[in-house]
Chains A and B, each alone.
Chain A
């Protein structure tokens, strides 16, 4: 695949406020949007916190007109150079110098704060999200080729899930603005908060990509999640057709949780690094900030019937049927006996476990054997994206496993 000229691409992602005409467009757009109300600056929070009718009558519009920055829903582009917080964040993350402060400022504006896609981080976050999930999944699949799908989903969630990204945002020292607006410091994460007291799980997820999603009682198989659901195995929202998409002028801001906004921000940072500094920098950023996080994958397993799974596995792999043997025991008649059981397939010991009873020890041994199988990791792991490097060695096919045992 030929490399793309990223710099040419990135100009389309760069904020149009920096270009000529952008400001005019912005003004036109906002005058359209706000012409019905007398209080444009306070509109944003009035949707959420303040009773709108009382506001409209009480606030003189001349007061607002004196401070043009109040009119903007997010900080202007010029403010990015003024903000010490933004520069500090840029330096703290050791971001490449080709990534301008303006883009970092844009990555901090959530779509809920500024619904104009020219100024929010939606496009960057989409790109970043795809990159993150791609790099993570290829890393997982190549490093642990035999992982069960549930574990892969869990590992994906642990590496690049929204909770992890929110934690990273906190660790990076990104502070959140109380209410978005043009006067807010660009170094703060800006998003429209969910109104306090809202029950986030009140209504089930609807309008997903899955067919028959209204039928709640239908079983969702693990295999169907690969097809229908997102990379974490959760139901994903169906894409909305552009004609049905709410126009920017409409009152569409619902508010997002801080976790969602933080996740969007991290994804947008990833996307902006990819756009401005290129793929090597993005991969380096991914390795330094995501893969470096320690995740014990063996903790993610949850077997209900490990002995049965193991026997099925052995049958599938044409091993001899597993046999549990007591390796040693102590205090059988005492209050705390300990049995050490090994599971053997022919002459090979697949696993070993210790437990207070023979059954417990056997199932532990089976779990150990299964984990030993599933957590196989080849030496010298290469991921497919490494082929994009300059002068990369010829690709040697990685190990592809049959997959988990389906009982």
Chain B
């Protein structure tokens, strides 16, 4: 704090008393580190008299007390140290020259500018206040600003600076861009049949996309198909152990034409086109009018409709054997399957998956996890249930159970009852 200046006199960088005063007033204000340190120094000294400090610590607190005591002495009254030194040098109470020959520091100016009252009102100094302070610094500030004369209490909100949030996002009203649409369905599929349906649908779609030479992941733009389209997809079979492009087996030519026509739209055109066209393709279906709705729009108006339009399971099991060796296909399939089922795959699982069957198995293992308690596991173990010489108890067997099994529990109870120990 004190340093010997070039002219040989002791000079304080900061005015201790003023700083202390400022410090006590603007406790939470953003300060320069030096001021805060000084403040700490002083306050710790003051408190050291009352608080207990062990002898070792007292011994090891080197030169600070001296300095601090000096501060304390000067802190009692009347002006900064420089002022007192000037008085001493000149020998008068009103020494000539500038009041502070070394000039005020930037911080002192800044803090002096904010009246203490205002600081109490705004404990958290906002960015605007800082800016204002910096601006005020550049102006020539007269020494004593008559604040009280300009002050007029406000009667309305008009013209007052806003108190509270300063334009945070969460306080603003919701806008169109803030809207969140989940990539996947809202609720994860749990039923085995539904998972199979999702996997089958994803496989059929990807087979179609593959055979049409379209970007595979673009199928994800269609979150949910129309019922008629889904019915067509559901009717398709997949040849086991075939390539993705050639695996699809259509029930009839009509279905093939319709599906190819629909899926031709998906990659290239916008979503409205995708949904518009099937109306013509599947015109024989009764729900043709509903097809005009966009798939996304349909999702928005998502009432608690049954998953997969009430379909319970797939007829065809050929999709399970489809390979997922090609990385692009694997990614596309997992993406589409995640979208349809709501289950995500961790990276190690993605790495280990090589067929569609493994994907479905993994999701089922997530849905039905193995019981963590051994008792649950044992009681659910079908093998143990079928073994007649093994008995799994649902509750812990205690000594009283053993007594009952041996038949002596009733004797024990009778004896206890006879002596009045139990009722």
Please give the residue numbers on chain A whose beta carbons come within 8 Å of chain B beta carbons, in ascending order.
41-42, 45-46, 49-51, 54-55, 58-59, 70, 81-85, 87-88, 91, 101, 177-181, 183-185, 188, 190
Contact = CB atoms under 8 A, between A and B. Distances in A.
A50 B391 contact: no
Closest 8 CB pairs of A and B: A87-B388, A178-B408, A84-B391, A88-B389, A179-B407, A184-B407, A87-B389, A177-B407
B357 to A, nearest CB: 38
B25 to A, nearest CB: 79
Contacts of B405: 183-185, 188
A355 to B, nearest CB: 56
Contacts of A180: 407
Interface string B381-423: 0000000111100000000000011111111001101100000
Interface in B254-298: none
A51 B406 CA distance: 21
A59 to B, nearest CB: 6
Q: Which of B405, B408, B410, B414 has the most CB of A within 10 A?
A: B410
A81 to B, nearest CB: 8
Given A50-B411, A81-B388, A188-B406, 12 more contacts: A41-B410, A45-B410, A55-B418, A58-B417, A84-B390, A177-B407, A178-B411, A179-B406, A183-B404, A183-B405, A184-B407, A188-B407
A85 B409 CA distance: 19
Contacts of B415: 50
A82 B418 contact: no
Contact of A55 (B404, B406, B414): B414
A42 B405 CA distance: 15
Interface residues of B, number: 16
A181 B388 contact: no
19 contacts: A45-B411, A46-B414, A50-B411, A55-B414, A55-B418, A59-B417, A82-B391, A84-B390, A85-B389, A87-B389, A101-B388, A177-B407, A179-B410, A183-B407, A184-B406, A184-B407, A185-B405, A185-B406, A190-B407
B407 A178 contact: yes
A88 B388 CA distance: 8
A189 to B, nearest CB: 11
A84 B406 contact: no
A184 B409 CA distance: 10
A83 B389 CA distance: 7
A59 B414 contact: yes
Contacts of A41: 410
Contacts of A101: 388
A58 B389 contact: no
B411 A58 contact: no
Q: Which of A49, A85, A184 has the most CB of B within 10 A?
A: A184
B80 to A, nearest CB: 94
B418 A42 contact: no
B223 to A, nearest CB: 53
Contacts of B410: 41-42, 45, 70, 179, 181, 183
A183 B410 CA distance: 10
Given A58-B418, A84-B389, A88-B389, A177 B406 contact: yes
A383 to B, nearest CB: 35
Nearest to A85: B389
A183 B415 CA distance: 18
Contact of B418 (A54, A91, A177, A185): A54
A388 B406 CA distance: 43
Q: Which of B391, B405, B409 has the most CB of A within 10 A?
A: B405
A46 B408 CA distance: 12
B411 A49 contact: yes
Nearest to A81: B388
Contacts of A42: 410-411, 414
